[in-house]
Amino acid sequence: MVGPHAILLRVPPADDARAVRRAVVRQAMSVAVATGVYGISFGALAVAAGLDLAQTVALSLLMFTGGSQFAFIGVVGSGGAPVAAVATAGLLGARNALYGAVMAPLVRTPGLRGLAAAHVTIDESVAVANAQPDPPTARLGFWWTGVGVFVLWNAFTVLGAVVGDALGDPTRWGLDAAAAAAFLGLLWPRLGGRAAQGVAAGAVVVALLLTPVAPAGIPVLAAALVAVLAGWRTPPTPTLGRRARPRADEARPGPEGVPSA
Amino acid sequence: MTPYTATWLAVLAASAVCFATKLAGHRVPQHWLAQPRVARVASLVTVALLGALVAVQAFTTGDAVVLDARAAALAAAAVALALRAPFVVVVVLAAVVAAGLRALS
């Protein structure tokens, strides 16, 4: 009898490597679809905030970092000064500098390709890259996710802006909850160590405590200070960077965060 | 300057700031990253920012902390994640739960 195990054993290593690459691309695509689709809510909310189609499209094309884009239209929509909108978006985008520093050794290329790498350095591309076991697959995950999100995020931004009025309130469709779930999905696999769990809990508390008193965007940034303090003090622990390897066919970004300590 | 022009300038300026931030990260000297402490802080900063983004996205409206359909949706998402559901399923489930609860209320 040829059971499943016998079939598995017959797969040669070359096919195995191809299968791993296919799994990475599949994971990248599922993250790109999940992320890109809530570009609809951005497009719709941007138009509702008073931006026109061209401005909305420009934000997704040129800024291309979701948190900052939402922050920007939030300030504009509530009548905030353009300067305040710029400052808030810029502060919320500060984490991308850290992502860039983590990705730089992987995707260090000169010229336009290097600029493109910087542009698609976002939560999702970095998370998928970090989920991979070695540099070649990490690079694959970074580019497929980054470009995939870019294409779909922009396409769905246009869609959202155009049909936003017809759709009505995006919260009716639960898109705001979907965004929260997406962040949780990115966070979940990084909670393997005691330090990470403590920092996540501290970040939640700090962000919620500051929300009523600080301008939009500041609570999230202030929460990062929790991590700086904790990371500076705690010695490296063996659990911090260790992963429980997920099945390769699952979209499960960022099991261990950035390179293990 | 009309408000429309001012908004355009803000769109372009904010986009430039965000791109410059990403690029600056890519051009950080390599040896900064060689320190285990920097890698550890960077790792935890990612956790902290994602945790804060979950909290802000799920439990705040404007400058108010609120408990609404998103909390239930997030709980459903957490259960799905604990059961190792794929990312897309987790995200869609959260949207369905929130939309369903809002339709019922």
Structurally, chain A folds into a number of domains equal to 1
- Give the CA distances from residue A127 to residues A4, A176, B63, B78, B81, in Å, rounded to whole numbers and listed in that order: 33, 21, 29, 18, 16
Q: Which residue has the higher pLDDT, A46 or B13?
A: B13
Q: Which residues in chain A touch residue B5, judged by CB atoms under 8 angstroms apart?
A: none
When divided into structural domains, chain B yields a total of 2
Instruction: Find the closest chain A residue to B30 by CA distance.
Output: A105
Residue of chain B nearest A68, judged by CA positions: B18
Domain annotation covers residue A91: yes
CA dist A225 and B100 (Å) reads 37
For residues A210 and A164, the answer to whether their CB atoms sit within 8 Å is: no
Q: How many CB pairs under 8 A join A and B?
A: 328
Closest chain B residue to A91, measured at CA: B18
Q: For residue B43, which of A5, A259, A57, A223 has the smallest C-alpha distance?
A: A259
Tell me the backbone φ, ψ of residue A65, rounded to 5 degrees.
Answer: -155, 110
Q: Can you give the residue range of the structural domain that contains B14? A: 1-30
Quick one: B42 and B54 in the same domain? yes
The reported pLDDT for the residue numbered B30 is: 64
Half-sphere exposure of A18 (CA within 13 A, CB side): 5
Residues B24 and B36 in one domain: no
Banded model confidence at residue A246, pLDDT cuts 50, 70, 90: very low
User: B45 and B12, same structural domain?
Assistant: no
The strand ranges marked E within chain A are none
Please report whether residue A104 resides in a domain. yes
Of B14, B19, B51, the CB nearest to A187: B51
pLDDT at residue number A168: 63
Q: With an 8 Å Cβ cutoff, are B26 and A101 in contact? A: yes
| Neighboring chain A residues of B64 at a CB cutoff of 8 Å | 211-212
Q: Is A38 a domain residue?
A: yes
Q: What is the pLDDT of residues A171-194, one digit of tens each?
A: 787 877 877 887 788 789 889 889
What pLDDT, in 10s, does the model give residues A125-149? 998 998 888 899 999 999 999 999 9
Residue linked to tokens 């791993």: A20
Using a CB-CB cut-off of 8 Å, the residues of chain B touching A175 are: 95
Domain contains A30:
yes
Per-residue pLDDT of B40-74, as tens digits, reads 777 787 788 789 888 988 998 888 999 999 999 99
B94 in the same domain as B59: yes
Domain hosting A51: range is: 8-190
Shared-domain flag, residues B62 and B75: yes
What are the residues whose beta carbons fall under 8 Å from the beta carbon of A40, sequence distance 6 or more? Answer: A156, A157, A159, A160, A167, A170, A175
Same domain for B15 and B62? no
Higher pLDDT, A148 or A2: A148
Stretch (H or E) spanning B60: strand B60-61
Selecting from B33, B48, B94 the residue whose C-beta is nearest the C-beta of A200 gives B48
Six token digits for residue B67: 């408990």
ipTM tops 0.85? no
